[in-house]
Amino acid sequence: MNAESGSYFNRELSLLAFHRRVLAMAEDTGVPVLERLRFMCISSANLDEFFEVRFAALKQKQEHGVHHSGVDHADLKWLVATIREKALGMLHDQYQFLNRDLIPALAAEGICFLRRSKWNEDQQAWLKHYMRHNLMPVLSPLGIDPAHPFPRILNKSLHFIASLEGLDAFGREHRLAIIPAPRTLPRIVLLPEEISGVPYGFVFLSSIMHAFAEELFPGMTVTGCYQFRLTRDTELYLDEEEMADLKQTVKGRLLTARKFGRSVRLEVAESCTPEMSSYLLNNFDLQADALYRVDGPVNLHRLAKVYDYVERPDLKFPEFIPSMPKSLRQSDDFFAVLRKRDVLLHHPFQSFDAVRILLEQAAEDPNVLAIKQTLYRAGDQSRVVDALCKAASRGKEVNVVVELRARFDEGENIHLSETLQQAGAHVVYGIVGYKAHAKMLLIVRREGQQIVRYTHLGTGNYHAVTTLLYTDMGLLTSDPFIGADVHKLFQELTGLGKAVQLKKVIQAPFDLHRMLVECISREADLAASSGRGRIIAKMNGLEDTGIIDALYQASQAGVKIELIVRGVCCLKPGIKGLSENIQVRSVLGRFLEHSRIYYFRNGGKPEVYCSSADCMIRNLRGRVETAFPVLVTRLRRRVVKEGLRYYLRDTASAWRLRSDGGYVRVRIRDKRHYFSAQQHLLEHFSGPNEDD
């Protein structure tokens, strides 16, 4: 069956639904209050990125005369209008939650946002001093007149527009001025406790600017002061025919262009007058439907600093220390361990230090000849990069594939690539036209008369911070077939030649899509013949229609299909005659669910793959990805139990996708059935019976 457009949900609306579920985590009173603040900030940042990337792309399509978009072929005019309606609803919910629920809940704990209308004399004096001595030296008001046109506005930067009366020092009559808030300025100011009267008293930068705006315009009267923020298109558009050097292209004009891309959205304070709003829209060449009014600060994400300022562990998730697998913990020689057994790592419950220590041992080991690694996101001051640099400086052959086009990490990746090159590593930038998204590490070691390859394959990045925040799985192995496959993959990435045949590892864009469809179809055939077929898959997004159609066909053949899809899901579950045997759930929690796992019952001989790839068009067709089999029975059982079955049992943070596209929170009446997958894993790996 070739499913028609009516068989798919719209990707953009599904993504917005995910962002709304993140906000629901903030609204959950069972979550510690500072974590609720953090979830609200994450939901705000998610919505920003949606407008910067997804919505901007839709607007560009409109400008080019495209009328339909997405796997569902949605009418573009309708889709843009629907997105605005849902985004307005989400903004309303965010600010209502902030003002009605979060601020009072924080105040009850001595964490207060001091409103300008309620400042006492001491607070007023302290803040005026702060304005004069901390803000004014770095503020540069920009009057608008024929000699001073409207300035260029950076993407997502906070600005104020002030209306003025009176004459300046040169006798000029200014009506308007723009006040940029430098990004070095804090958006919230913490007052001393003796001034605020509470343990943690905060004032918004916008409140200070509004209260003391006339300090910036001596002798003039400020008749209005309004905060605003412009969101721009931040996608990097590469013309491969004109590009001679990828790094220089990204480093040069493209990162600069991102700051001043096409205008997409204008946020203004609720108090901003219609005349001022129209003036701003005209200057940004935006229509009225691009205006979003907010009842509070225009960038909620900046409130995340409160989480860092407030030292109240009782208002945050309990701290945890990731465990080290027992076999590695008991050995000073990781190579000796991996010669005997494969090691499965389940982050963040198990420590990413296992990978880092292996790299550091490799850098020091005189028997290690070469190290090869992919880096998609590595973070600043990465100890992984330090180990690679040390290995290169010691004369080892170090080859690193750095993906320069990892969105919003391009500048950081350019810096780390230059650091690696200065240390003597060979650095390549992936394949033009295909992002290098695979997570691979290969260590080549001489052992007697043999060359042994040690491999790490993972579902997540080599990033020390995100390994504490995201759930991911990784495999450490000395399996010779996997090592040979990864060696061939690095040859593809760094050299030239046709796609190679691999024995164990599956790669995109060549084989992964086909393999998944074949495995799904095999389950359909088995179900048709024996009445038993089972697929369980966990991923971040499901969009590819080839995969969805194969799942529909398997469902119709009687295969029981359970999908754990964190974010975008274009498949419609539970529709009679199409997908009645498919269930979809989304699990959100303390950690961002990030691992990709594909389980096929295979007639009682289960096959399990972990992968760097989601079932998105971009992953399967436009990126270099890997899926690796978990071959050892004890580890395969762990992956199924920890990565799949626990999440199918979850009643704490799970949502069920309905056939109409809505999500319903999984609720239980009997508390004995309450189960949190993430909490269970935290407790399990901190106990004496941890798996290895």
Phi-psi region of 166 (alpha: psi -120 to 50; beta: other; left: phi over 0): left
* SS3 (DSSP) at 261: coil
Contacts of 172 (CB under 8 A, 6+ apart): 143, 145
DSSP string, 123-135: HHHHHHHHIIIII
β-bridge mates for residue 292, sequence order: 267
User: Whole-angstrom distance between the N-terminal and C-terminal Cα of the chain?
Assistant: 44
CA distance 135 to 129: 9
Catalytic residue among 174, 301, 347, 437: 437
Structure tokens given for 485:
């496959």
Residue among 10, 200, 25 nearest 678 (CA) = 25
* SS3 (DSSP) at 564: strand
* SS3 (DSSP) at 409: coil
378 CB-contact burial (10 Å; exposed 0-12 / middle 13-18 / buried 19+): buried
CA distance 625 to 145: 54
Structure tokens given for 477:
């192995």
Structure tokens given for 486:
């990864």
Q: Is 347 part of the annotated catalytic residue set? A: no
Residue among 466, 430, 457, 372 nearest 623 (CA) = 430
- Please state the φ and ψ torsions of residue 442, each to the nearest 5 degrees: -130, 125
Residue among 512, 34, 425, 640 nearest 25 (CA) = 34
DSSP string, 413-447: HHHHHHHHHHHT-EEE--BTTBEE---EEEEEEEE
Residue 607 CA to its chain's centroid (Å)? 29
CA distance 137 to 656: 53
Structure tokens given for 164:
């003025």
Residue among 634, 655, 637, 649 nearest 679 (CA) = 649
β-bridge mates for residue 626, sequence order: 507
CA distance 619 to 89: 31
Instruction: Tokens 């209050």: give the residue.
Output: 33
Residues noted as catalytic: 437
